[in-house]
Each structure stands twice: as C-alpha cells, then as structure tokens.
Amino acid sequence: MPAGERLPGAPDRAERIVLHVDMDCFYASCERLREPELEGEPLVVGMGYEAGETIGAVATASYEAREYGVESAQAIGAALDNLPRKAEEPDDPDAGYYRPVDMDFYQEVGGEVKEILYELGDTVREVSIDEAYLDVTERTAWDVAEGFGRHVKQRIQREVGVPASVGVAPDMSTAKLASDHDKPDGLVVVEPDEVREFLAPIEIEDVHGVGPVRARELREMGIDTAGDLAAADPYELVERFGERGRELHRRARGVDNRPVEPRGKPKSLSRESSFDGATDDFERVREQARTLGEAVADRATRKDAFYRTIGVKVVTPPYDVHTRAESLPGPVDDPDLVEDVTQDLLDEFADERVRKVGVRVSNLDFSEREQANLDGFADADASGDGDGTLDRGRYDRDREDDQSDRDGQVSLGDFE
Ligand code: DCP
Ligand code: MG
C-alpha cells in the first residue's frame, strides 16, 4: 500500500513508525574503511589543505577531530590551526590526518548502505548520500522498535563496515531529531506518548524549518526551545511568520503528517572515474570503461533493472563534458552488450586526452524478467535470461546526446 494511504480501520498516522538513518562522520568513516589504521584517530576529509593551498573547506571531521574544534564547512586554514597535519608534525600527539574528498568511493559505499535500507523499510526516502527515512510500520512494533533499530545499525556495520545513528519515532521530523540525539553510534526511540517530552528541550535552531534568522526572531520572542514553541500562542506565530508559523508550531508539538514517500526508482545507474590529471593513453580509458561497465551492469542485475539505453561520459580538458548514448529497441540485462556499446561510443574520442570516463545505463525498467522478451527482440535463449546472444544487427542505433549532462558539473545524483 502506498505510504500515506490507509485502509479504513488500519492504524492512523499516530501509529506510524518512522526510522531515520544518518551515517556518522560519513566521508571519514568511508576513508577508515580502506585505511583501518585511521580508526580512533582525528581525521579530516576536505579539499585544499595540500601544501601551498590556502583555499578549501572541511567536508567532515571524525569525532576525534571535532574535539579539536574542527567541523564541516570550516575553512581549511582554521582547521589546520586547530589540528596540525600529522604529515608535517609527526611527533605532535595533537596532530591529525587529512584526506582529500573521493566522491566516487563515498557514492559506492552510500549505495551499499541504501541497498540494505531498501530491504528493511516498507518505503524509503533517500535524503542525501548518508541519510534516509524508512517507513517501518509493517516491519516492527513499538515494544520491539529498539531491537529493530539495533538490527538496522548492525546490518550496516557488518555488511558495509561503517557506523550509523538511528532514530525511531512516529513522524519524520522527530525521527530525524532522534537519530541526531545521541551521535555517534546513536540509537534513540521516541514512542508516540514520549514525543512532546522528547521535543521540549530541543534548541529552537534544531527544529526542522527554523533557519538562523527565524531562530533569532523566535529567541527575541522568548522562544528558546521546541517546548517553548509548542506552548506559544499559535495566533501570535501566524501573525509573525504567516502559515509557516502554524507549521512550526505543529512540528514543535510533534505533528508531522508527511508520509515517507520514496523518491522513485533511480532513472539511471552509472559509474565514473577520474584519471590523475588527464591521460592520453586511450587503452587505459577503454580498460577503465570496461571495468565501470561491468560494475554498472552488475548493479543493474542486482537491482532487477533492465535498461534501454547505454551511454558513456567523457570529460576532456579543461572540463568539457561529452555524453553519448545508444538506445535499444527494448530493455535488456546484458553485460556484454554494455561493453560492446560503450567501446563503440568511445571510438570518437580515441584521439582525445581524457580526464574522466563514465558508463551509464538508463531508461530503466523494473518490471518482471519475462516481460523483457519483447516480440521480435532477438534472444536465442528462450529462457529470456539475456545470455549475450542478442543480435546487435537488429538494433536501431539511435544516437542521442543527453543535454542534461552537459553542464560540466560533477553530478552526484544523476551520473552517480
Ligand atoms: N558534507 C560536506 N559539507 C558540509 C556538510 C557535509 O561535504 N558542509 C558531506 C560530508 C559528510 C556528508 O556530507 O560526511 C554527510 O553530512 P552530515 O551532515 O551527515 O555529516 P557527517 O555524516 O559527516 O557527520 P554526522 O556524524 O554529524 O552525521
Ligand atoms: Mg551523517
């Protein structure tokens, strides 16, 4: 049943069970996955701390580094003042480790976490690379919700190897506050009759929808906590903030009816990787594309996704993004075809220097396997398992240029 819809007689929203997951110091945890000796050490992930660089910012800091006052979005100079680099001060016990951001890797780890979450929730709303809401109403009950939350954390830790904090509550905004309440490695369950009490001491800045400006105004009105906000006169809030004021008043009282709506199935699956600087060795590019294509095809298979379009992305210096794609007459699950098509599409770039290459399958179809056997769609194996015997000659080789990818951005969501 879609989220938000209830059959007559089914539990109303007060009995919804929403679970929010937010990974702990996510980029730093990913770095620790491949460099376990960084476990327990102050670790900063960011850009621009290399010798001679002065512009840059911290993406995240491990909890040990936060003790030194290092935090997300801090200028790298300030971070280095608080916590010198171990590489430069090897004998300083108060020095830390710095690592550059590697989005491709974090996306991969985040993807593995999300796969587990999709198994565990009735519906999942992905919010960012390290954060998601799950509606788990049908999967658990309040008296065992803590055990369920622990199970979610343990599965992520065991199968992916990174720590998460989890909050469980009857609505999204309380669940988010709950996951943040006991970070890192937190697990906080707020049952329906505990919501008001849980929210009461929350600082006004932390209430969802309250930005720094509104927080200042609220504090001027003597409203310092969610409890104060809940107790405030709603008419006064509406007078001051309009409809938004009413909404905030409701949130502070734990009234948040938003259903956990999935963002929808992915529209495409892709992988890309950069070369140090740019390479003029096109065999390397081809080889890399082969590896990426295998990974993408494998992910599609695991997600039961069939694709109608196979594409490549090639980034040439200074940062020109070229995308090429080929549409197939029907959906396939065929790793060999991914390789053939991507290698063909790469031909036109053979004389270019390449900074980055990517492979994407799109126009995804998640319907049942047998439906992929379209009439007239060559498949020698009647079982329909797509064993690579498709007759390429039959394809209408539409070329398309995907304009949406031409902005040169390091797009995380789309060409993930
Ligand atoms: N991020 C970033 N720049 C920011 C904030 C965050 O690049 N200003 C990145 C790095 C984080 C990731 O997004 O690892 C997730 O953001 P979170 O706000 O969840 O922060 P963390 O996961 O790092 O820490 P926490 O344990 O507080 O969730
Ligand atoms: Mg996080």
Domain coordinates in residue numbering, the chain: 26-103, 200-252, 268-415
Nearest to 146 by CA among 193, 117, 194, 188: 188
Q: In what order do the strands lie in the sheet with 306-316?
A: 268-279, 354-365, 306-316, 320-332, 398-400
Alpha carbon nearest to ligand 1 atom 26, residue: 24
Q: In what order do the strands lie in the sheet with 18-23?
A: 123-128, 131-135, 18-23, 164-169, 187-189
* pLDDT above 70 (res 66): yes
Burial of 244 (0-12, 13-18, 19+ CB in 10 A): middle
Q: pLDDT > 90: what percent of the chain?
A: 64
Q: Please report which ligand is nearest the Cα atom of 28.
A: 1
Tokens describing residue 297: 């095809």
pLDDT in the model for residue 290: 97
Tell which atom from ligand 1 comes closest to the C-alpha of 101.
7
Is there a cis peptide before residue 184, judged by omega within 30 degrees of 0?
yes
pLDDT in the model for residue 377: 33
Alpha carbon nearest to ligand 1 atom 1, residue: 59
Tell which atom from ligand 1 comes closest to the C-alpha of 46.
7
Q: What is the pLDDT of residues 160-183, one digit of tens each?
A: 999 999 999 999 999 999 999 999
Binned at pLDDT 50, 70 and 90, residue 347 comes out as: very high
* pLDDT above 50 (res 235): yes
The pocket around ligand 1, CB under 6 angstroms, is made up of 22-27, 59-60, 72-73, 130-131, 183-184
168 - beta bridge partners?
19, 189
* Domains 26-103 and 200-252 equal at CATH topology level: no
Q: What is the pLDDT of residues 127-148, one digit of tens each?
A: 889 999 999 999 999 999 999 9
Which class does domain 26-103 fall in?
alpha beta
* pLDDT above 60 (res 104): yes
Residue 131 annotated in active site: yes
pLDDT in the model for residue 364: 86
Highest mean pLDDT among 54-63, 98-107, 143-152: 143-152
Binned at pLDDT 50, 70 and 90, residue 412 comes out as: very low
Angstrom distance (rounded) from CA 232 to CA 248: 11
Nearest to 136 by CA among 303, 262, 260: 260
Number of Cβ within 10 Å of residue 347's Cβ equals: 10
**Among the CATH numbers 3.40.50.300, 1.10.3720.10, 1.10.150.20, 1.10.357.10, which is that of 200-252?**
1.10.150.20
CATH superfamily, domain 268-415, is DNA polymerase, Y-family, little finger domain (3.30.1490.100)
What are the angstrom distances between the C-alpha of 160 and each of 103, 244, 251? 17, 40, 34
Tokens describing residue 60: 């995240």
* pLDDT above 70 (res 287): yes
Minimum mean pLDDT range among 74-78, 103-107, 355-359, 363-367 = 363-367
Binned at pLDDT 50, 70 and 90, residue 52 comes out as: low
pLDDT in the model for residue 307: 93
